[in-house]
Amino acid sequence: MDDYRQQQIDVLKEAVPYSEKLIGAIEKVSEELSGVPFPETHDAVNVIIEGLNWLFEVYNGTKDIIEAGAVDEAEANSGVKELSEAVKADDDVAVSKALVRLSTFVKQLHDAGSRLNNKKHKGIRRFMYYMNQTDALFYIMVVRYSH
């Protein structure tokens, strides 16, 4: 495996737990925006937007190793446009709806990254299984022929 592909896998591995936290933040902040926002809610929106930007960078840098169709890129781009318009209009309810829409992208990237990481671990487990079988066979041969 070349270094670039390993870097892609590593960044996706980092994005999986991060996306879980971001989904939770989106859910909480979108609820607040739909009701009566706290003074710090708008600061949280800015942090979420930074997190979304990072996940889009991750996606753009790793989409060639993510299975085709795992992330609905058109829907994500529409969500970004919707969020941008809502922020410009300073419309809390529209920002809330756009964040909920973008949480689908976050979940899709999370799931794609999880599947990729699981495939990698399955390969390692399979390798270890065969190595253990080989070690057992070697041990049997040593014991049998050492007498």
Tens digits of per-residue pLDDT, 69-100?
A: 999 999 999 999 999 999 999 999 999 999 99
Q: What is the pTM of this model?
A: 0.79
- Virtual CA dihedral for 105, 111, 116, 119, nearest 10 degrees? -160
Give the chain's radius of gyration (CA, Å). 22
Q: Are 86 and 94 in contact (CB under 8 A)?
A: yes
Helix and strand counts by DSSP (H, E) for the chain: 4, 0
DSSP element (H, E) containing 90 = none
Helices 73-89 & 92-145, crossing angle to 10 degrees? 140
